[in-house]
Amino acid sequence: MEVNQSKDKKLFGSQVKVMVIGLVPITPEILHIFRIALDIMIIEVYGQTVSTGTVTSPYIMDLSFGTVDSSFMYVQIKLIDVPNTNNRSNNNHWNVCVREPTISEN
């Protein structure tokens, strides 16, 4: 894939300095292409709609892709098995439970 950095950067505007991606997982190769084409910092984050924002992100100086391994200091995370589902620890699939100040209890 050919990358034209000046053309691609103009597409997003020259004022863009950081791109935060928090949707479905994107392959590291695609993220590297974006980083090269746009010449900006790209940060992958994990969050949940019910938590009203980001739950984890990589360390700010970590330029690798494919992990969002550190939680914010105000966030507690627990991985749990869900009975009668495939979300079980024996197949490396869990439900992610989050507790933080922005989540209200129902």
Task: Return per-residue pLDDT of the chain as tens, 106 residues.
Answer: 556 666 666 776 677 888 877 766 778 888 888 888 888 888 777 766 556 566 666 666 666 676 666 666 777 777 777 777 766 666 666 777 777 776 656 5
d(CA 11, CA 2): 16
Residue 36 CA from chain centroid, whole number = 19
Question: Residue holding tokens 């190769």?
Answer: 29
Answering whether pTM is above 0.85, one says: no
